[in-house]
Chain A
Amino acid sequence: MQLPDYFLADIPDPTALSPAVLTDACLALKSNRRRFLANRTTADLIDVVARLAGDWMDPDNPFRREALEFGPVATGFSPETIATGLDAFFESLTVENLRELVLQDLGHPHRLERLTAGENESGRERLGFARGPELLVHIAGGVLPNPPLVSLVLGLLTRSAQLVKCASGTSFFPRLFAHSLHEVEPKLGACLEIAEWKGGTSAFESVLFAQADCISAMGEDATLTAIRERLPPGTRFLGYGSRVSFGYVAQEALSKHAAPRLAAAAAEDVAAWNQMGCLSPHVFYVENGGSVMPERFAGMLASALAAHEQSQPRGPLPAPAAAAISSRRAFYEVRAAHSNETQLWSSSGSTDWTVVFESDPRFQFSCLNRFVYVKPVANINEALQGADAIRGKVSTVGLAASGTSEQGLAQCLAQWGVTRICPLGRMQRPPLAWRHDGRPSLGDLVTWTDWELPSRW
């Protein structure tokens, strides 16, 4: 499939990009927004997005086929991993879910169109109107396809012209998605721009920072700080920094009957996007005292990962990533040879998957690419003590519990600072209305106008 040179990232020659070209692009985006996007209705835009998502779910969709054929080379994920991840994302982009998101974050389905009163706002004494940024710039980070696509959808809902700035070599999915929108709605496509350059190219970024009224960025904390420092005072900045996630399995959930199913769900979380996202688990804390002991659960998780490798292979790794796994395995293999407190399960003849059982409850960063720890704990307090060093940096906890303990565990995790709790198996499948890092994703983009009504109303 030959994609036309429509976006800046389509142009193979990197020297074609200059501050002047970028400035022109920003001005054109703003102009196109005024002409083609500013006056669209929310219902209409939701309809466009939901139809587009439906198209992407179709196995014969040319953009999907392109993603599965060339995505592995562009991103390093296997076709099966990409297909699973794309399906999980696009199936959440339904009309109902998009409406629910608007309602949740803005309180009324027409908030982005006119002054309205939310149903829960008492007395109708005040009306509100939510206005999106004129030019929303996304600085994409990481290797997962989904986050920039979510950003683009949110920006469409707020009727913003948008520019996605990708790091070198990472524009494949944003480009494909933007082209797919351009094909069905060229006028909306004209309100998007995808560009790619190496981070820290100061002259280019200065253009964006001067033109945008809102910047959203994902990346390392240091990167976010550097961006924030360069923004004009009036520019809104939404920074999504590094986060980590873990799983927690309560003892009453570990019946002999349920344990294999839970292990399969946990394996799903590890395998999704090869563990590369901030929602992917590094560690599973497993309570002692259940019918299935934590060591046994670790073995089941290993079996589930081996099964996953058949249906959804991880794919080849570059030498440094494979070496990181190999070196870490060697370290734990020697420990496992000396003590039952460390155990190791791993794929044979490859680095495809690894499970380390370690009795030390301290949270341990994984080297990713399907390398996960299982750590036994007496209770949630021991797990949270072990994870103290990452407190405030935890995104998601995949929780397996039942009965009376479930509510208590969730409350405990919430008060400790976890921003999302979900069942095992759904860690990398956040709902569209997910509050990213605990913030309303759509709500954070808009600026409100409140109209306080005179009493005669």
Chain B
Amino acid sequence: MIKTDIQVAESDQRASSGDAAFAVFEGELRRFIQDSVPVESGSERSEAREARFGRLALRLFSLQHRAVGPLFQLCQRRGIAPQDIREWRAIPALPTTAFKDYAVTSLHLEARTRVFHSSGTTGHRPSRHFHSAGSLALYEASLLPFFRAHLLRGAGQGKGEFTFLALTPSPAEAPHSSLAHMFATVIEAWGADDSAFVGAVECDGAWRVDTASTIALLRRRARIRRPVCVLGTAFAFVHLLDAMHESCLRCALPPGSRALETGGYKGLSRSVSKPDLHRQIGAALGIAPTHIVSEYGMSELGSQAYDACVPALPSARGVVDQSAHGTTGLAAAPGIETGARRSGEEDRRLCAGRSASEPAPERGRVFHFPPWARSVVVSPENGIEVREGETGLLRVFDLANVRSVLAIQTEDLAVRRGTGFELVGRAARAEPRGCSLQAVAVAT
């Protein structure tokens, strides 16, 4: 079996010598992040910024090579030493599956105060991403400015301008969820006092949305002028939308309300395409298409990618697809609309060069990481970056992953789009699963 314990001990030994060096690096990274703010998706990358990213990436790799056991072992197997790597794209990427088998960290055992697990189906080992107080602070330093650039552009710096509604459990209920932590961090930074988590963890570990209380909350929020920012997984949104649909309810959240949606539909009986989901969110909650943003993140990363920016100025509610719901007859409380479509003022603002009234383009939406992280789409055949418009596996180089590894090989299929990527889907899972014939489609 795998010698995880031995590996952990070795990792500890290496880590003890590197803490100071990591601290120095963290300081430099924070300056890089500050210098990059305000940030925007897909903004031009200056040569100086590129060079700075490259220098930091190589330095961090050199530190991690010494201090992170699994990375060291992989490099040894490949016969790679840090001095052999001259360009950040050549830094060996550790697959996300390595986080299941090994402690991919340079943190001492006692410094590991928090661990984020990947979400997974029951019976499968999750990835483990260890954090200390310091690495969590860095996670937050990476999260907040880029989140703000995409969801809260033009908003004031203080708390109270938005009510956040997270369709996930709170960190207290889901302490190993990086997503719950992400939402809590955002709420802590900018959320009004009536912000809330409306998800719960069931006995089997699955998450569910308390739809009844969520709908009640939405009703109350709809009466107040303060815009709402709804945060959740695609799974949770579908759950909520189904409940609203069953009750023939829809809701007109205050102007300027917005939504952040992330992740897939694991375990859900039905899946909805992203454009459909966004249309349904728009129709059910009264959120303009320009105000719905998708996020790409994972527990193994310290930074997140987004596919759109909510326009900066306070906006009237955009046009909502009127055909998404059939007519219904149930009258509801103020703010919750039934059946008949309200008239909406068209969002006059432009976002990413596209007017709100224009239909979404056929091709998928393009995600971008912040300037301190990079996505590279590599050919599954040879690991070399694919050409523009080609499909491959997404590899992420994330400087905010200071105490784990900065280069992560995901199992996600993506199309290279400029400096960003369009998400296509997930490759068949690499990790061996229990012997279920359903696990692999077996030809006959």
A-side interface residues toward B, CB under 8 Å?
141-144, 147, 218-221, 240-244, 276-278, 317, 319-320, 322-328, 330-331, 333-339, 341, 349-351, 360, 362-368, 389-390, 393
Q: Determine whether the beta carbon of B443 is less than 8 Å from that of A390.
A: no
Q: Which of A218, A319, A324, A350 contacts B444 (CB 8 A)?
A: A218
SS class, residues of chain B in contact with chain A: loop
Q: Determine whether the beta carbon of B74 is less than 8 Å from that of A322.
A: no
11 contacts between A and B (CB under 8 A): A242-B442, A278-B443, A319-B380, A320-B413, A322-B381, A324-B428, A326-B393, A330-B409, A331-B97, A338-B70, A367-B428
Residues of A within 8 A of B268 (CB): none
Q: With an 8 A cutoff between CB atoms, is B322 at the interface? A: no
Q: With an 8 A cutoff between CB atoms, is B24 at the interface? A: no
Known: A325-B380, A363-B435, A365-B440. A320 touches B101 (CB 8 A): no
Q: With an 8 A cutoff between CB atoms, is B411 at the interface? A: yes
B-side interface residues toward A, CB under 8 Å?
1-3, 7, 70, 73-74, 76-77, 94-95, 97-98, 101-102, 379-383, 391-393, 409, 411, 413, 424-425, 427-437, 439-444
Q: How many Cβ-Cβ contacts under 8 Å join chain A to chain B?
A: 135
Q: Determine whether the beta carbon of A334 is less than 8 Å from that of B70.
A: yes
Q: How far is the CA of A220 from the CA of B444 in the complex (A)?
A: 8
CB distance from A331 to the nearest CB of B (A): 4
Residues of A within 8 A of B439 (CB): 365
Q: How far is the CA of A67 from the CA of B70 in the complex (A)?
A: 48
Known: A322-B381, A339-B3. A334 touches B444 (CB 8 A): no
Q: Which residue of chain B has the shortest Cβ distance to A328 in the bound complex? A: B430
Q: Determine whether the beta carbon of A242 is less than 8 Å from that of B444.
A: yes
Known: A323-B380, A323-B413. A389 touches B74 (CB 8 A): no
CB distance from A77 to the nearest CB of B (A): 12
Q: Which residue of chain A has the shortest Cβ distance to B4 in the bound complex? A: A338
Residues of B within 8 A of A328 (CB): 430
Residues of A within 8 A of B425 (CB): 320
Q: Which residue of chain B has the shortest Cβ distance to A276 in the bound complex? A: B443
Q: Which residue of chain A has the shortest Cβ distance to B436 in the bound complex? A: A389
Please name the 7 residue pairs, one residue from A and one from B, whose CB atoms are nearest each other, closest first.
A389-B435, A323-B427, A327-B430, A326-B380, A324-B428, A330-B95, A337-B77
Q: Which of B380, B430, B444 contacts A240 (CB 8 A)?
A: B444
Q: Determine whether the beta carbon of B442 is less than 8 Å from that of A335.
A: no
Q: How far is the CA of A154 from the CA of B282 in the complex (A)?
A: 57
Q: Determine whether the beta carbon of B427 is less than 8 Å from that of A349.
A: no
Q: Which of A277, A278, A333, A362 contacts B74 (CB 8 A)?
A: A333
Interface centre among B7, B382, B383 (most CB of A within 10 A): B382
Residues of B within 8 A of A278 (CB): 442-444
Q: Determine whether the beta carbon of A144 is less than 8 Å from that of B409.
A: no
Q: Which residue of chain B has the shortest Cβ distance to A387 in the bound complex? A: B435
Q: How far is the CA of A334 from the CA of B279 in the complex (A)?
A: 42
Q: Which residue of chain A has the shortest Cβ distance to B435 in the bound complex? A: A389
Q: How far is the CA of A364 from the CA of B7 in the complex (A)?
A: 25
Q: Which of A147, A243, A324 contacts B442 (CB 8 A)?
A: A243
Q: How far is the CA of A326 from the CA of B432 in the complex (A)?
A: 14
Q: How far is the CA of A71 from the CA of B95 in the complex (A)?
A: 36
